[in-house]
Structure 1
Amino acid sequence: MRRSATLTPPLLLIAHGTRDPDGPRVIERLADAAAHRLRVPVHVAYVDVIGPTVAEALSEVDGPVVALPAFLAAGYHVRTDLPEQITASGREDVAVSAPLGPAPEIIEAMFRRLVAAGWQPGSQVVFAAAGSSDERALSDVRAAARMLGRRVGQWLTPSYVTTASPTTAEVCGPADYIAPYLLAPGLFHRRLAELPVAGVAEPIGAHPDVIDLIARRYRLAVRDHVSAA
């Protein structure tokens, strides 16, 4: 990475991308809140489906950049797709932080959403993730389920909206509360909301704890990569 005259490089928040307008709205809210918290420019890019692409976003930023994958698990897009896109951009001054999840701040946001949905101690929680065929991503999801389980006082194993098993529809019951391991609303959350359960928490979204996490990821990347370059 080229040496920077400043230790406050811009942040590039990178999400998967969806044609559902609610998804980008959440990412933009996260970007706005992070910019306010960190007092640095924050840009947004997507690895798939919609733009701006990673290369397009990087072309608008000069000097070192911290790229933060707004993903809840280190699956294919985080480990392979994103690094390939950064390499293809020709930039050598991009420090990539760890993804958003799993992390304590994400779990705390999930817990707060669960309480807001009506959950009380003693009621059963069903942990629901999007699903993946990537074993590394599934391992991260299992770690997140264990973390939330400690928070609610239950042993939680993940269920999935699609792709992996068991599906949430197979394991949930009418007295259960669903905790979605989803960053933004969209098709997956709508499927969960249709299930015959006691309550479905909102997606994690632009919760204050998530903003805390973005700030922490950014500062660690600056400390470990930018300031050492």
Structure 2
Amino acid sequence: MDTRRPVLLAVAHGTRSAAGVAAAHALLSRVRALRPGLDVRCCFLDLARPVLSEALTALDGRAAVLVPLLLGGGYHLRVDLPQALAAAGLAHLPLARALGPHPLLATALADRLAAAGRPAGAGPVVLAAAGSSDPAANADTARTAALLADRLGDGQPVVAAYLSAARPTPRQAVAALHAAGHRRVAVATHLLAPGFFADRAAATGARWTSAPLGTHDALARLVALRYDEARADVRRARPAPTPVPAA
């Protein structure tokens, strides 16, 4: 293990689903394969262990970059994670951006739709995201919907929908498209792992529903990219050395 590089400490939302927890660990196994020697660790905001406070304590003074396994910004990124770092006396640790929006995320979503059987140009797509009471997080979902439409490139609309805290829900979005005459509607599951929300995304009446993003290679590359970006931001923020006057 290369101890000269900061630990990549990934923090997932957390779930009671054993399959959901396993999916987070499997994704990070893919990241380790991309970055041999990098110390990649996993923790959770709640509902699964280790929780973030335990993982921060386990760093035992090691430098680290906190990479949220969150598909968009919002309250967790703006408030919860900075507060957790401050409470641990580690406010100096770099905090990476959310995974999305990003074209790599759109690539993973498009591939999952194709694997679910949706032919190119088959009809509209509903992007089923977790949803948030934070408008900024929902705006990120809308931007991801636009990126997915660009990635699909078949002229079909992609409608952002939310499984909680915002409207339309995926079921409502699918029903509205059916009412408008679209019989072949697909749902792109904008979630990392199986669990309660993924089960709801699969119960909309759409013809095709993609699997959660899971261990898709583009997602693993995106996790590594966010780590690199946060490290680069730290290096750029360091003050330049003060020149020593000539004697």
Task: Determine if the TM-score, normalized by the shorter chain, exceeds 0.5.
Answer: yes
Shift of 1:92: 4.2
Contact kept? 1:118, 1:199, Cα under 8 Å: yes
CA distance in 1, matches of 2:54, 2:164: 31
Q: Which residue number in structure 2 is paired with residue 114 of structure 1?
A: 113
Instruction: Kindly tell me the number of residue pairs found equivalent between the two proteins.
Output: 224
Q: Which residue number in structure 2 is paired with residue 162 of structure 1?
A: 164
Q: Which residue number in structure 2 is paired with residue 86 of structure 1?
A: 85
What are the within-5 Å matches in structure 2 for residues 126-137 of structure 1?
126-137=126-137
1:10 pairs, out of 4, 7, 15, with 7
- Establish whether residue 205 from structure 1 lines up as the match of residue 204 from structure 2: no
Which is higher, the Rg of structure 1 or of structure 2?
2
Q: Which residue number in structure 2 is paired with residue 34 of structure 1?
A: 31
Which whole-Å deviations, capped at 9, do the CAs of 1:85-131 have from their partners, x for residues lacking one?
01101124411111111111111000000001111122121211111
Shift of 1:226: 5.4
The AA in structure 1 aligned to 2:135 is: E
CA distance in 2, matches of 1:71, 1:207: 15
Q: Which residue number in structure 2 is paired with residue 141 of structure 1?
A: 141
Contact kept? 2:70, 2:99, Cα under 8 Å: yes
What are the within-5 Å matches in structure 2 for residues 54-93 of structure 1?
54-61=52-59, 62-93=61-92
Residues 227, 36 of structure 1: alpha-carbon distance in 2 compared, 3 angstrom cutoff: farther
The AA in structure 2 aligned to 1:139 is: A
CA distance in 1, matches of 2:14, 2:24: 10
SS of aligned partner of 2:55: helix
Residues 92, 168 of structure 1: alpha-carbon distance in 2 compared, 3 angstrom cutoff: closer
CA distance in 2, matches of 1:158, 1:227: 35
Structure 1 unpaired stretches of 5+: none
TM-score by length of 1: 0.91
CA distance in 2, matches of 1:21, 1:186: 9
1:23 pairs, out of 20, 23, 26, with 20
CA distance in 2, matches of 1:54, 1:130: 21
SS of aligned partner of 1:190: helix
What are the within-5 Å matches in structure 2 for residues 171-210 of structure 1?
171-172=173-174, 173=178, 174-210=183-219
Residues 32, 110 of structure 1: alpha-carbon distance in 2 compared, 3 angstrom cutoff: same
CA distance in 2, matches of 1:169, 1:92: 41
Residues 50, 226 of structure 1: alpha-carbon distance in 2 compared, 3 angstrom cutoff: farther
SS of aligned partner of 1:94: coil
CA distance in 2, matches of 1:59, 1:112: 38
CA distance in 2, matches of 1:100, 1:82: 15
CA distance in 2, matches of 1:154, 1:79: 33
TM-score by length of 2: 0.85
